[in-house]
Amino acid sequence: MTLRVDPARATPPSRQLVEGVLDRIAGGALGVGDKLPSVRGLAAEALVNPNTVGKAYRELEAMGVVEGRNGAGVFVTPAGPVAARAARRGATLEGLLQALDSALEAGHTETVLRRHIERRLLEEKGPAARERRSA
């Protein structure tokens, strides 16, 4: 599992890690019972302080997505995939709505926005998208 933190983003590093783990679980790259990297291992990979990873793991645990097992590590819970999908869908839908509001405020017409949204949705119906969803 490769996670990166972008220091240029306004989102705090621990939240970026939470979102990255949620995306991996929601997308099926991590499943029930899978072990997450150690705090130190992920900190080295993401180039952040181990405390940042610890904070992210605590947040994921509070969400019911993962559970820490003393001496064994951090693992995806049975409820993890459902919780991760719900969290990411909610967050991404909110982001989409904010982007639409910003686009309308910037003067984009509904016609232009609809065309771009419809084009993107049509792209998602193509063979590559079907293959991604079935994987």
Mean pLDDT for back-to-back runs of 10 residues, the chain (135 residues): 92 96 96 97 96 98 96 97 94 92 95 94 73 53
What pLDDT is attached to residue 18? Answer: 97
Residue 67 DSSP one-character state: E
What pLDDT is attached to residue 131? Answer: 59
Q: Which of 44, 45, 40, 3 is nearest to 21 (CA)?
A: 3
Number of CB atoms found within 10 A of residue 91's CB: 12
What pLDDT is attached to residue 114? Answer: 94
Question: What is the b/e burial string over 5-34, where b = at least 16 CB atoms within 10 angstroms of the residue's CB?
Answer: beeeeeeebbbbbbbbbbbbbbeeebeeee
- From first CA to last CA, the distance across the chain in angstroms is 17
The two three-digit tokens of residue 135, written as one number? 């994987």
What pLDDT is attached to residue 91? Answer: 87
What pLDDT is attached to residue 130? Answer: 52
What pLDDT is attached to residue 47? Answer: 94
**Beta-bridge partners for 75:** 35, 67
Query: Would you say 65 and 75 are in contact if contact means Cβ atoms under 8 Å apart?
Result: no
What pLDDT is attached to residue 127? Answer: 62
Q: What is the crossing angle of helices 39-46 and 13-26, to 10°?
A: 110
Q: What distance lies between CA 1 and its chain's CA centroid? A: 13
Query: Would you say 17 and 52 are in contact if contact means Cβ atoms under 8 Å apart?
Result: yes
Domain boundaries 1-135, corresponding CATH code: 1.10.10.10
What pLDDT is attached to residue 134? Answer: 52
